[in-house]
Amino acid sequence: MDIDSHAGELASDLGVEKQEVAADLETLLEYDVPLNEAKQSLRRKYGEGGSGGTAPTAASVGDVTTTDSSVTVTGRVLTVGMRTIVYNGEKRTISEGEIADETGVISYTAWDAFGFEAGDTITVGNAGVREWDGEPQLNLNENTSVTTETEPLSVPYEIGGERSLIDLAAGDRGVTLEVAVIECEQRTIDGRDGPTDILSGVLGDETTRLPFTDWDLHTETIEAGASVRLEDCYVREHRGVPSVNVSEFTTVTPLDRSVEATETAPTMEIGAAVAGGSTFDVELTGAVLDVRDGSGLIQRCPECNRVIQNGQCRSHGAVSGVDDLRVKAILDDGTGTATAVLDRELTERVYGGTLEDALDHARDAMDKEVVTAAIAAEIVGLEHRVRGSLSVDDYGATLDATEFEPITDDPADRARTLLAEVDG
């Protein structure tokens, strides 16, 4: 059944104009609300006596539930995050954030420019209520009135979106950060409207590091080594971790102080790290139990960079593979297991030679497995400290390593290592 048919069915059930229901339904679907949930919230909206129903009751924020169809709430605006979405083929600016009173905090989406700012005390009349992630959320639409109150409401929550990176979670809006830009590169990606230039990289502050994307190319201010204040960012999940998004609504200001980004990553037991889910920057210590298939010399697709088997890419068919080196090491500390993936640079260090050396080695032996065996001989059975980005999914935990160091606690060992380096 298409959207039109769903709207028709709803309209006849609820006894309202189909056009009206269709517009609302499209809005909700455009906003990624699942179809069934969208239909339910429209049944709630129109259900109780249709559009001319009873006036919504004034409620405390803490009392709003997902069974309310609409409410009137007075609260203090904590955050305002601006964003554009494409609706019916047109760009539309919406704002999202949080409103609070003394009883609680609730998130909102405003589909019109109501003009309120963080810190304002407002009365939101006849706001729709919808369920988002199991929680009620205010929906400020064309039926909603917003009145600014002169008396500021005192609330036990911080006003404004000032945050540390460690506190960010996917879904946060209107966030303000003071950060150091640790890595930054300009890339072209396949965007909604074709190829799009973006900046991407890593931000850091005193608490942690997180990836970022700048959709509006602030190339003058956002560059590696800079310290900047970013006002009005939003946070999305990227590979399981929070990612900071800078948009056309973000104000970027260079700071006259330099933000000291943390040098170290939090150290965790592997079991606890895996149970906690994906983490952008973490340090794990464990013994390498084995190296997995796909370690050593590999070939990648020149189109998509994925590892290929026998010259065949799953997406691009027969391709001329590009040689590369990598290690997939099984790391275990007794509490859990993760697969540490070493890129070419780290693998060359472990192997003790370059990619070209490895290719020569394999050619001489007429077997590329000699490279894998040489790598395994260096690391299997030994304790290692591995820093990197941990992603956890149904298939297990993968640590994309940025650092991979053997631990030699035994002074004699350390002396031997030093001597070997001097001799080498």
Whichever of 5 and 310 has its CB closer to Zn ion, that residue is 310
Sign of CA dihedral 115, 119, 120, 126: positive
Smallest separation, CB 324 to Zn ion (Å): 14
Residue number closest to Zn ion, CB atom:
301
Smallest separation, CB 293 to Zn ion (Å): 20
Question: Does the footprint of Zn ion cover residue 317 (CB under 5 A)?
Answer: no
What's the distance, CA 102 to chain centroid?
Answer: 31
Q: Write the CB contacts of 366 (distance below 8 Å, at least 6 apart in sequence).
A: none
Question: Phi/psi at 142 (nearest 5 deg)?
Answer: -70, -15
Query: What is the amino acid identity at position 39?
Result: K
Whichever of 51 and 305 has its CB closer to Zn ion, that residue is 305
Whichever of 306 and 349 has its CB closer to Zn ion, that residue is 306
Interface map 242-281 toward Zn ion (x if CB under 5 A): ----------------------------------------
Q: Report which DSSP code applies to 133.
A: T
From candidates 187, 316, 363, 414, binder to Zn ion by CB under 5 A = 316
Q: Write the CB contacts of 98 (distance below 8 Å, at least 6 apart in sequence).
A: 77, 78, 79, 105, 106, 107, 108, 173
Whichever of 308 and 390 has its CB closer to Zn ion, that residue is 308
What's the distance, CA 421 to chain centroid?
Answer: 41
The string of DSSP letters for 4-39 reads: HHHHHHHHHHHTS-HHHHHHHHHHHHHTT--HHHHH
Smallest separation, CB 304 to Zn ion (Å): 3
Smallest separation, CB 319 to Zn ion (Å): 6
Write out the binding residues for Zn ion, residues 365-404 only, by CB under 5 A.
Answer: none
Write out the binding residues for Zn ion, residues 284-313 only, by CB under 5 A.
Answer: 301, 303-304, 313
Q: Which of 199, 202, 213 is nearest to 165 (CA)?
A: 202
How many helices and strands, by DSSP H and E, does the chain display?
Answer: 8, 23
Smallest separation, CB 313 to Zn ion (Å): 3
Q: How far apart are CA 114 and CA 137, in angstroms?
A: 17
Any bridge partners for residue 185, and if so which? Answer: 200
Smallest separation, CB 365 to Zn ion (Å): 29
Whichever of 255 and 322 has its CB closer to Zn ion, that residue is 322
Whichever of 164 and 315 has its CB closer to Zn ion, that residue is 315
Smallest separation, CB 310 to Zn ion (Å): 14
Token duo for residue 83: 């964003």
Smallest separation, CB 322 to Zn ion (Å): 11
Whichever of 314 and 363 has its CB closer to Zn ion, that residue is 314
Smallest separation, CB 18 to Zn ion (Å): 46
Query: What is the amino acid identity at position 4?
Result: D
Smallest separation, CB 299 to Zn ion (Å): 11
Whichever of 170 and 304 has its CB closer to Zn ion, that residue is 304
What pairing do the DSSP bridges indicate for beta strands 121-132 and 145-148? antiparallel
Whichever of 12 and 309 has its CB closer to Zn ion, that residue is 309
Query: What is the amino acid identity at position 180?
Result: A
Smallest separation, CB 188 to Zn ion (Å): 18
From candidates 315, 356, 360, 417, binder to Zn ion by CB under 5 A = 315
Contact 79, 161 (CB under 8 A): yes
Contact 143, 185 (CB under 8 A): no
Q: Which position has the token pair 């943390």?
A: 262
Provide the Cα torsion 388, 186, 299, 319; round to 10°.
150
Whichever of 277 and 311 has its CB closer to Zn ion, that residue is 311
Whichever of 36 and 320 has its CB closer to Zn ion, that residue is 320
DSSP 3-state of 196? strand
Q: Which of 314, 283, 287, 290 is nearest to 300 (CA)?
A: 314
Q: Which position has the token pair 């605006």?
A: 77
# of chain residues touching Zn ion (CB under 5 A): 6
Q: Which position has the token pair 């890593």?
A: 202
Q: Select from 141-149, 213-221, 316-324, 332-340 the region that touches Zn ion (CB under 5 A).
A: 316-324
Q: Given the rule CB under 5 A, which residues bind Zn ion?
A: 301, 303-304, 313, 315-316
